[in-house]
Chain A
């Protein structure tokens, strides 16, 4: 049972435009969510997080939105840059546990 789903395996966006990456989850107990970026031959790099008490968190070009009623979160990258081309993973955890459940990833390609 996939508790965290990234239904788009890939996404292509023109440089300078907005990239929107989506993530759905099924476990209503999840209260902390993260986004990671992964380049080939490197480990995932932490981008941004959001707690379930918020519905938005911003850090520079990256904004994460959380819709608890829809069990949906999204990562917006504005403006997109070629260096943003990577695989993006969302992850979630329950309170009092120490494991993160990851989605299967979305490969973003930013076209110059």
Chain B
């Protein structure tokens, strides 16, 4: 069973730039969620994708956007980067549509915005 994989592991960007983070979901999972974890905080929900559609969104501005592909992999795009976007970005997959289903996380992408 292949787990959730994320790339890249680390990234340094400049304020105002754009970034794309990638995620491959665990085999058998068709739902992908993205979370942002700032230093000393718990993960915060950004959005979720199910069957290539956004299925729910947290309190993040529209410059955070995403995609899910037919193979259930996903991308997180952030435009006009701000210093506060520096965080660990976690992708998690789960069994499709089932609300009471644990999330299985990847190891994250550490984004630093300077």
Chain A residues within CB distance 8 Å of chain B: 4, 31-32, 34, 36, 41-46, 49, 51, 89, 91, 93, 95-105
A43 CB contact (under 8 Å) in B31, B41, B44, B90: B90
The interface on chain B, measured as residues whose beta carbon lies within 8 A of the other chain's beta carbons, has a size of 27
A31 to B106, CA, bound (A): 25
Q: Are B99 and A32 in contact (CB under 8 A)?
A: yes
Chain B residues within CB distance 8 Å of chain A: 4, 6, 31, 33, 35, 40-45, 48, 50, 55-56, 58, 90, 92, 99-100, 102-108
Interchain residue pairs A-B with the least CB separation, the first 8: A102-B42, A43-B105, A99-B45, A98-B56, A46-B102, A43-B107, A32-B100, A98-B48
A44 to B105, CA, bound (A): 6
Q: Are B45 and A101 in contact (CB under 8 A)?
A: yes
